């Protein structure tokens, strides 16, 4: 075993906090001021730490990494180069699995929604839609710099896997139910159609989890984007569906959804992107709503039934299925899916 390998192995025998303390001591910082932060369903550990004359956030990964081929660093460079407001990177130590980045504070956008006036919330939403358009404008640069995000996509296998995950964990893990053979075959055929149609849509750069928990309002009242390491290519409406519909307590009005779809098209136009047909975008939006909603329901079911986190996630299952049914009814398609969901829930 080489000495480098020995160092890496012994380093990762330490806990995340112990590795971070060792890292900070090496940079001359006090370790008593480390404050653990709680990420949402993450394999990484986050800490607020002293850094130079202020504070920073340290992400501590479960294993070492090569900084030249790390998704978070790669996408951060791509976003910063294209004016998308993500945290700045202060230091990287791949051997210890540590990234030190700008501290944006604790003001997540969904928290602001809870207490801000309606007009203020709407203003933030409009600014967020502008950010979606900015991310889409970075599509060509992503390919030009061979970003990791340009080599990943919501292709048919990925979309199908997410829908299979829904079936496994909503019906299996949560409901402890095996669908009848004919019923399962009908549902599978419809889910395959959803995945195939979305995979065939034109693709742009997507954040992938663009919702109000991953948007921060910094000390200058600017919206900042976080948790962007899974960016990839996908349908134009993907991030908009995520932003408007993830973890909603009830289905929004059709007028609200239409207004924000048209806003995205206008923001794209103002940035010089291709004009899109509003009716075609509306159809894609509904189809994307079904796929994303089922994918999210699978995650909520898994977190509830398998991980024992029902106090956090179970509350979102019924509202999300209501949103899925609203979209399927609007399209007037997928009768098996609509029947199966209505038979097994309190949805009408």
Please tell me the predicted confidence (pLDDT) of residue 26. Answer: 87
Please tell me the predicted confidence (pLDDT) of residue 308. Answer: 95
pLDDT grade, residue 254 (50/70/90)?
very high
What is the length of the chain?
348
pLDDT grade, residue 4 (50/70/90)?
very low
Taking the alpha carbons at both ends of the chain, their separation in whole angstroms is 64
Q: Give me the percent of the chain exceeding a pLDDT of 70.
A: 94
- Token code pair at residue 118: 């309606």
- Token code pair at residue 342: 């209505």
Q: Half-sphere exposure (CA, 13 Å, Cβ side) for 119?
A: 0
pTM metric for this prediction: 0.92
Residue pair 50/29 in contact by the 8 Å Cβ criterion: yes
pLDDT grade, residue 348 (50/70/90)?
very low
Element (H, E) at 3: helix 3-11
Residue pair 293/245 in contact by the 8 Å Cβ criterion: yes
Per-residue pLDDT reduced to its tens digit, 269-312: 999 999 999 999 999 999 999 999 999 999 999 999 999 999 99
Is the CATH number 3.40.50.1820 carried by domain 3-102? no
Most trustworthy range by pLDDT among 5-9, 206-210, 247-251, 344-348: 206-210
Give the whole-angstrom CA distance, residue 10 versus residue 135. Answer: 40
At how many degrees (to 10) do helices 278-305 and 238-245 cross?
Answer: 60
Q: Is the dihedral of CA 112, 250, 43, 233 positive or negative?
A: negative
Give the whole-angstrom CA distance, residue 139 versus residue 158. Answer: 19
Give the whole-angstrom CA distance, residue 73 versus residue 58. Answer: 13
Residue pair 183/219 in contact by the 8 Å Cβ criterion: no
Q: In a 3-state reduction of DSSP, which class is residue 52?
A: coil
Please tell me the predicted confidence (pLDDT) of residue 7. Answer: 46
Is pLDDT above 70 for 347?
no
Q: Is 332 exposed, middle or buried (0-12, 13-18, 19+ CB in 10 A)?
A: exposed
Give the whole-angstrom CA distance, residue 308 versus residue 311. Answer: 8
Residue appearing with tokens 């007028």:
255
Domain ranges in the chain are: 3-102, 109-344
Element (H, E) at 249: none
Q: In a 3-state reduction of DSSP, which class is residue 326?
A: helix
Q: Between 3.90.1200.10, 3.20.20.100, 3.40.47.10, 3.30.830.10, what CATH number should domain 109-344 receive?
A: 3.90.1200.10
- Token code pair at residue 199: 């995979």
Per-residue pLDDT reduced to its tens digit, 82-141: 999 999 999 999 999 999 999 999 999 999 999 999 999 999 999 999 999 999 999 999
Q: In a 3-state reduction of DSSP, which class is residue 310?
A: helix
Please tell me the predicted confidence (pLDDT) of residue 42. Answer: 61
Query: Bridge-partner residues for 206, per DSSP?
Result: 232
Strand locations in 38-97, DSSP E? Answer: 45-51, 54-60, 89-93
- Token code pair at residue 336: 């098996």
């Amino acid at each position: 075993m080489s000495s480098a390998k020995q160092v890496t192995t012994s380093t990762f025998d330490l806990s995340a906090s112990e590795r971070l303390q060792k890292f900070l001591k090496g940079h001359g910082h006090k370790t008593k001021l480390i404050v653990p932060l709680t990420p949402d369903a993450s394999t990484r550990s986050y800490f607020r730490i002293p850094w130079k004359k202020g504070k920073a956030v340290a992400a501590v990964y479960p294993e070492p990494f090569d900084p030249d081929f790390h998704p978070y660093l790669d996408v951060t460079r791509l976003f910063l180069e294209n004016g998308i407001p993500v945290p700045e990177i202060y230091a990287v130590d791949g051997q210890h699995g540590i990234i030190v980045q700008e501290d944006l504070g604790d003001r997540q956008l969904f928290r602001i929604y809870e207490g801000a006036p309606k007009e203020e919330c709407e203003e933030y939403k409009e600014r967020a839609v502008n950010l979606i358009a900015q991310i889409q404008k970075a599509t060509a640069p992503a390919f030009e710099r061979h970003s990791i995000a340009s080599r990943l996509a919501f292709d048919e296998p990925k979309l199908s896997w997410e829908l299979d995950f829904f079936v496994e964990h909503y019906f299996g893990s949560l409901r402890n139910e095996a669908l009848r053979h004919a019923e399962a075959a009908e549902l599978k055929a419809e889910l395959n159609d959803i995945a195939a149609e979305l995979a065939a849509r034109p693709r742009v750069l997507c954040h992938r989890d663009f919702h109000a928990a991953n948007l921060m309002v910094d000390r200058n009242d600017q919206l900042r984007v976080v948790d962007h390491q899974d960016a990839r290519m996908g349908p134009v409406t993907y991030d908009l569906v995520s932003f408007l519909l993830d973890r909603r307590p009830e289905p929004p009005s059709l007028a609200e959804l239409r207004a924000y779809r048209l806003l995205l098209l206008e923001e794209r136009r103002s940035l010089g992107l291709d004009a899109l047909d509003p009716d075609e975008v509306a159809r894609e939006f509904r189809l994307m709503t079904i796929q994303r909603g089922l994918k999210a329901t699978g995650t909520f079911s898994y977190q509830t039934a398998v991980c024992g986190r029902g106090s956090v996630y179970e509350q979102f299952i019924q509202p999300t299925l209501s949103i899925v049914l609203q979209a399927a009814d609007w399209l007037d398609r997928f009768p098996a899916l609509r029947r199966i969901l209505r038979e097994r829930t309190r949805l009408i």
